[in-house]
Amino acid sequence: MSKEPEQNPGRESAHSPSSADSPATPALADHLPQDSPQSSGEITRQSASNLALAFVLLPRRKRRAMEILYAFCREVDDVADNESVPVEKRKAALREWRTDLDRAYSKSESPRLGVNRELAAILPSFNLQQEDFHALLDGVETDLVRNRFDTWEQLELYCYRVASAVGLLSIPIFGYQHQSARDYAISLGKALQVTNILRDVSTDAEINRIYLPLDDLRTFAVTEADILEGRYSENFRRLSHFYASRALQFYRDAIGALHTDDRPAMIASELMGAVYWDILRKLVARNFNHWDGNGRTRLSKSRKIYLIFRTWLRLTLGSRSPNYGTGPWVDSIQSA
């Protein structure tokens, strides 16, 4: 449900456009939308993302639909992330994706891009809202026009667009009975994205990006230079804990919104919650020190397999308690 799997859906691997369809000028081939030589299934299988990992728990029909949705997210994010291409050209490419997406919803015109053709084929079966796709595209485009956020309100809107919108597109595929599932998707999406932002502070800084709002940096006496130059401090730890508490509240809001009847259907998103909750636990354990020489906070393959099995077992046995939102270490967030 988050834009970013182990990172955001489009940030983990790239693919090459079809040479047969590429324009003559190589520079244009880098940014114009292409009819990908890969199917959505291939794009998903080649990814090491947490979002793609969660699909293993879905029935085949739903897994196929989620692969298509995931591939759309990856493709548009790849366009935005290709920093070798000028920003204006990437904006133009995203406009083409918007136009082609609208073709997928049109009854009079067929999409030109392969992933959108696959998307058009599943739209009659699932109630995927066009406005949620456009919100996602708005979020992706945000990364082209800003690398700082002034306020929490600006960041929260970004989180909604790049993560909650994906959740809102996912839940019709999962299937739900109660409208509260929408509140669940919105809250869990924000929880995952805030966790993702906390995890990627140092890697984002390497490309001159700071997602933590400047207002809050000033409140906690952390400078942009501190983050860009990797200067860890008690003030930065306090700032990070403050945002961990925000993530915690979103996790708990998601728990409160999910109706018992809908829990089994949300098994894939519940796994995502468990995975990102475990990442947050590890971040707290290292006091959010991204510059301690241990690299990016990750979960091992064995840990992910354990979380898959635990999530499946708990839901199969009818457990009403989620795999996230609680733990002995939570007190350290609340008291920080």
Say whether pLDDT at 70 is over 50: yes
Most confident stretch, 30-39, 51-60, 270-279: 270-279
Q: Report the candidate in 238, 229, 244 with the shortest Cα–Cα distance to residue 276.
A: 244
Last residue of a domain, one of 100, 119, 145: 145
Last residue of a domain, one of 128, 145, 162: 145
Specify the pLDDT at position 182: 98
Whether residues 69 and 113 share a domain: the answer is: yes
Whether residues 70 and 98 share a domain: the answer is: yes
Specify the pLDDT at position 219: 98
Q: What is the mean pLDDT of the chain?
A: 86
Specify the pLDDT at position 313: 87
Whether residues 25 and 93 share a domain: the answer is: yes
Q: What CATH number does the domain containing 246 carry? A: 1.10.600.10
Distances (CA, A) of 21 to 24, 28, 41, 192: 9, 12, 21, 37
- Higher pLDDT: 286 or 1? It is 286
Say whether pLDDT at 20 is over 50: no
Specify the pLDDT at position 38: 57
Whether residues 122 and 167 share a domain: the answer is: no
Q: How many CA atoms lie within 13 A of 150 on its CB side?
A: 0
DSSP, res 211: -
Give the mean pLDDT of 231-242.
97
Specify the pLDDT at position 331: 81
Say whether pLDDT at 215 is over 50: yes
Whether residues 18 and 115 share a domain: the answer is: yes
DSSP, res 49: -
Domain that holds residue 312: 148-336
Most confident stretch, 60-64, 196-200, 272-276, 325-329: 196-200
What is the value of pTM for the model shown? 0.86
Separation of alpha carbons 280 and 268, rounded Å: 19
Residue type, 221: A
Whether residues 53 and 172 share a domain: the answer is: no
Specify the pLDDT at position 189: 98
Last residue of a domain, one of 145, 174, 192: 145
Whether residues 298 and 318 share a domain: the answer is: yes
Other CB atoms within 10 Å distance of the CB of residue 137: 22
Whether residues 187 and 57 share a domain: the answer is: no
Specify the pLDDT at position 49: 57
Instruction: Please enumerate in sequence order all residues whose Cβ is within 8 A of that of 293, keeping only pairs 6 or more positions apart, or say none.
Output: none
Residue 152: is it exposed, middle or buried by C-beta count within 10 angstroms (0-12/13-18/19+)?
A: middle
CB 147 within 8 A of CB 208: yes
Say whether pLDDT at 152 is over 80: yes
Of 39-43, 112-116, 265-269, the one with minimum mean pLDDT is 39-43
Structure confidence by residue, pLDDT tens digits, 98-150: 999 999 999 889 999 999 999 999 999 999 999 999 999 999 999 999 999 99
Whether residues 247 and 110 share a domain: the answer is: no
Of all residues in the chain, the percent with pLDDT exceeding 70 is: 83
Say whether pLDDT at 218 is over 50: yes
Say whether pLDDT at 276 is over 80: yes
Specify the pLDDT at position 166: 97
Specify the pLDDT at position 52: 62
Whether residues 244 and 335 share a domain: the answer is: yes
Whether residues 109 and 246 share a domain: the answer is: no
pLDDT band at 306 (very low <50, low <70, confident <90, very high): confident
pLDDT band at 241 (very low <50, low <70, confident <90, very high): very high
Give the mean pLDDT of 252-272.
94
Structure confidence by residue, pLDDT tens digits, 155-201: 999 999 999 999 999 999 999 999 999 999 999 999 999 999 999 99
pLDDT band at 10 (very low <50, low <70, confident <90, very high): very low
pLDDT band at 309 (very low <50, low <70, confident <90, very high): confident
Whether residues 75 and 160 share a domain: the answer is: no
Total domains in the fold of the chain:
2
